[in-house]
Structure 1
Amino acid sequence: MPILSCLRRVKLAIYFILTTPSHHQSIRTFRFGIPLLIKTEYRQFTTEADALRFLNASGLDLPIPRLVDSIAIDGNTYTVMTRLPGRLLRDEVDQLSDPEVQAIVDDIQAILHRLWTLEQCPEDAGKVMLSASGHGLPNPMTFFESYWGPCPSILDCYFDLGRHLRDPDIDDWTPDIYVAGQPDLVNAVTADRVVWVHSDLRPQNILVHHGRLSGIIDWENSGWLPLHWQVHALRGARVGYTNRVRSIWLNVVFPPETEAGFKASMKLLRYLPV
């Protein structure tokens, strides 16, 4: 067995000795008051460590975990990160007042606006479905079971996502034909900005403490995407998203080009992204 593999196994064994299982099967918390946890992803490749490393170094002072270590071994990935204070919004929302829920949504909005100040490096400008590691992101058309991308542009992204709209009588299906078939809709989605998006921003990934936002977790599927994909993540009727929180996001107004892109994407896609 290679020395590097042996060292990884020894390190992982030490981590497991120092931790204890939590109520979440993929999370172990450290003993002795150490404010860390270890998260297990049951796949060899995950972009969360790269996302945390990128965001930790962004200088935005975000309420997110700080990356400590990441080990890929035996088909699994183990990521050690800091443990944030608070409880999941999913478990607390029924005990919160309406003003407190609104304040948490306002806090999330402020974090999103900070994220949208991030800029892509010049060589990646305009690319979407792009992770911090330079790889693709989980494919929304396969329920996130496979990775896809990066795509050179928003148009290329929707061209691939819209395969179900293709005319079966046209063999040479090109982006130009795709645009010609749905010009207003395609123009609307491609006019939106490319920003950093947390594509799973649901109450089970939001921490609250004393009625305010205390942290955002689970950055595994985050990356460079059209801004209206963040709107899908916030407004979509998805498992774990309570109507009480979702109803507020339905009334939050985003930039005009993003609202237009959101509406157009709902018509372009049979299965909504993120």
Structure 2
Amino acid sequence: MASENIPYLSSHRDIQHRGTEHLAINNNFLRRSLALLALKTTARFYDQMGSCVPISKKKLIKMGPFVHLTEAATMKFVTEHTSIPVPKVFCSFVHKNIAYLVMERYQGDELPTAWKKLSERSRHKVFDQLKRMLQELRALKPPHSTKVQSSVGGSLRDSRLPRSCPRFGPFDTIQEFHLWLRDGLQPSQIKGRDNDPDWQEIQDMATEQDGPWPPPVFTHGDLNPFNILLRGDQVVGLIDWEMSGWYPNYWEYTSEWLTSEHTRTEWRDSIHWFLDPFPRELKMEATRQKWWGE
């Protein structure tokens, strides 16, 4: 299996920050102290938003058991290599086995809130902006032509994958990633199922997964409408980069399409405006999620 993998156990949470000190940003005693103090003082004046705790009108701290320094490093990477609007990271550090990311608090409306106010023309303007941003991400050159890994070459996070506890990988090849996704199943080792239509479906999926693949592309990984911030019809921020990394070229499309299938039908039906469709891979992933999904 791939290099640097850690056993996929719940105890992984206790060791997920091991060896990540070099990923911290502007990590010094003063900045750490001010961040921890703000959580006890100014944060009381704001409502917590999931793992994000506002500490002023312009800053928030993302923290929690599943937050990782990789996310801050990813935002820094995207800022340095693209023109995509991403929150600035002021500092990041680990304290008592919890990661803290102090970052810019973007002022804007989540896309579902803004969507109701937009004309059809403005909505397509938003799609055009998203398409250009994703083209920038796809134009980035992977550091390795086969590896599925984070922006810094390490482990990944995807809360939709049952075996992400809380992180997984990296993988030396896309085929190894696919093998992990199906829990190591090798259809050729299973006999006597030739007349089972469900088994044929799984065999077809595995054949597709094991085939040749183009190099991985940089992927946001969680491009749901709540992670897209607007002011008017201008996209002013893409947030929540914790699931990002170098993935197979279909991963952005299939993850968003399948995640939205039952909860955000209108959004699912709109993603073709800014994401290239992968119908064959979508069928492959639908089978994978049916048998190994959430």
Q: Report the TM range for the smaller structure's normalisation.
A: 0.7 to 0.9
Are the aligned partners of 1:38 and 1:81 in contact in 2 as well (CA < 8 Å)?
Answer: yes
Per-residue Cα deviation, 1:121-179 (whole angstroms, up to 9, x for no partner): 2xx33101x112322112543174421111111111112212375449559xxxxxxxx
**Which residue of the other structure, out of 83, 87, 105, is the alignment partner of 1:61?**
83
- CA distance in 2 between counterparts of 1:57 and 1:166 reads 41
**Which residue of the other structure, out of 121, 134, 147, is the alignment partner of 2:153?**
134
Are the aligned partners of 1:197 and 1:225 in contact in 2 as well (CA < 8 Å)?
Answer: yes
User: 1:1-274 maps to which residues of 2 (within 5 A)?
Assistant: 10-16=33-39, 17-19=41-43, 20-31=45-56, 35-43=58-66, 45-58=68-81, 60-121=82-143, 124-128=144-148, 130-139=149-158, 140-142=160-162, 144-163=164-183, 165-167=185-187, 182=204, 185-186=208-209, 190-238=212-260, 242-250=264-272, 254=276, 258-270=278-290
**SS of equivalent residue, structure 1 residue 138:** coil
Q: Give the C-alpha shift of residue 38 in structure 1.
A: 1.6
Per-residue Cα deviation, 1:191-250 (whole angstroms, up to 9, x for no partner): 244111111110111101112311100001100001200002332244995322221115
Mark the runs of 5 or more structure 1 residues left unpaired by the alignment.
Answer: 172-180
Between 1:86-95 and 1:40-49, the stretch displaced more is 40-49
Q: Give the C-alpha shift of residue 87 in structure 1.
A: 0.9
Structure (1/2) with the larger strand percentage = 1
Give the TM-score normalised by the residue count of structure 1. 0.77
- CA distance in 2 between counterparts of 1:86 and 1:252 reads 21
97 and 150 in structure 1: CA distance in 2 versus 1, 3 angstrom threshold: same
Per-residue Cα deviation, 1:9-45 (whole angstroms, up to 9, x for no partner): 62333433454433514323343x5x32222233464
Per-residue Cα deviation, 1:28-68 (whole angstroms, up to 9, x for no partner): 3343x5x322222334644211111211221x111111111
- CA distance in 2 between counterparts of 1:97 and 1:191 reads 40
**SS of equivalent residue, structure 1 residue 148:** coil
Are the aligned partners of 1:21 and 1:27 in contact in 2 as well (CA < 8 Å)?
Answer: no
**SS of equivalent residue, structure 1 residue 208:** strand
Q: Percent identity?
A: 23
Between 1:232-241 and 1:39-48, the stretch displaced more is 232-241
Report how many residues are paired: 253
